[in-house]
A and B are shown apart, each in its own frame.
Chain A
């Protein structure tokens, strides 16, 4: 299967996981 670099980035980077902002509450 084609390995999509953008998919790799978007699905794996913790920097994109904004749910942590809410968990800090």
Chain B
């Protein structure tokens, strides 16, 4: 037999089969393929290694690879399920899937909990909430008296920490979000409803075009 030259497209090491990713997420196969185009762009903006590094994530979010932001860090780390310091293609698709309008509300609530659980202890603690409020004030160039910050944090915490043990567990968080559904508003990206319509420029690839 002669040698067989494959025309399969070149994919990076972290590439996962779009069919499998589509089965696990609200995206269909062509949407996963379209998002791969976005992923390739993001993951090659600084280091072309098929993985999104934190600087690349910051560059995409803020047009500045050096702009640090507590919340962007938390989003990055929550995408980075393997905790190896980069976002791989499968991690990117699975996490974005949670932001899909059709994703289960439960998964959005749990993702938000993980974002706010800064030290990944399984609880949102009072100090973490205060740290986030202070970080946001800093980010927004707002100044509030220390007493006011303490009052806001205390009030929020007393409302959410229904067991009164000084920390918010995931059950308390779910109950708190059910009373305040706007808390997960930013967990839905309407764009993802129909990627191929909203972002036709992503849909340029096919197995043949890519080879």
Binding site for B on A (CB under 8 A): 2-22, 24-25
Contact = CB atoms under 8 A, between A and B. Distances in A.
21 contacts: A4-B156, A5-B153, A6-B129, A7-B183, A9-B71, A9-B132, A9-B133, A10-B184, A10-B186, A11-B185, A12-B136, A13-B71, A13-B136, A14-B69, A14-B71, A14-B139, A15-B70, A15-B75, A20-B62, A24-B42, A25-B201
Contacts of A20: 60-62
A13 B133 contact: no
Contacts of A7: 180, 182-183
A16 B116 CA distance: 12
A3 B71 CA distance: 20
A3 to B, nearest CB: 5
B61 A15 contact: yes
Contacts of A11: 182, 185-186
A20 to B, nearest CB: 5
B199 A6 contact: no
Contact of A13 (B99, B139, B155, B156): B139
A20 B72 CA distance: 12
Nearest to A16: B186
A19 B191 contact: yes
B120 interface: no
A19 B38 CA distance: 12
A19 B189 CA distance: 7
Contacts of B183: 4, 6-7, 10
Contacts of A21: 38, 42, 60-61
B69 A13 contact: yes
A2 B155 contact: yes
Contacts of A5: 129, 132-133, 152-153, 155-156
A15 B60 CA distance: 11
B112 interface: yes
The 4 closest A-B pairs by CB, nearest first: A15-B71, A15-B72, A5-B156, A15-B69
B200 to A, nearest CB: 10
Contacts of B75: 15-16, 18
Nearest to B59: A24
